[in-house]
Amino acid sequence: AVKAPGFGDRRKAMLEDIAILTGGTVISEERGYKLENATLDYLGRASRVSITKDDTTIVDGNGKDDDIQARVN
């Protein structure tokens, strides 16, 4: 497990970025999702993830190109 980056709204936005990049879903009660009800379908995928104390790098996330472009723009 990795501690989510940022604080407050910035943290929520970063988690959403990661979810879109990997094709996953942010599990949050304010979004109507509870961890105890989560299934493997909620998890995103990537070819490689590298984690250090200060950085997380996600390579070849399985998110949809249209969703990623919409988030970037």
What gap in Å lies between CA 59 and CA 20, rounded to an integer?
Answer: 13
Range of the domain at 58: 8-72
Within-domain flag for 27: yes
Q: What is the pLDDT of residue 68?
A: 96
Q: Which pLDDT score, from 0 to 100, does residue 1 have?
A: 63
User: Is residue 68 included in any domain, yes or no?
Assistant: yes
Per the structure, how many domains does the chain have? 1
In a domain, 1, yes or no: no
In-domain check, residue 50: yes
Using 50 as the pLDDT threshold, list the residues of the chain that sit under it: none
Q: What is the pLDDT of residue 57?
A: 94
Please check whether residue 18 is in contact with residue 33, taking contact to mean a CB–CB distance below 8 angstroms. Answer: no
CA-closest candidate to residue 42, choices 23, 28, 29, 24: 24
Task: Supply the pLDDT for residue 7.
Answer: 86
Written as six digits, the tokens of 27 are: 């599990």
- CATH code, domain carrying 37: 3.50.7.10
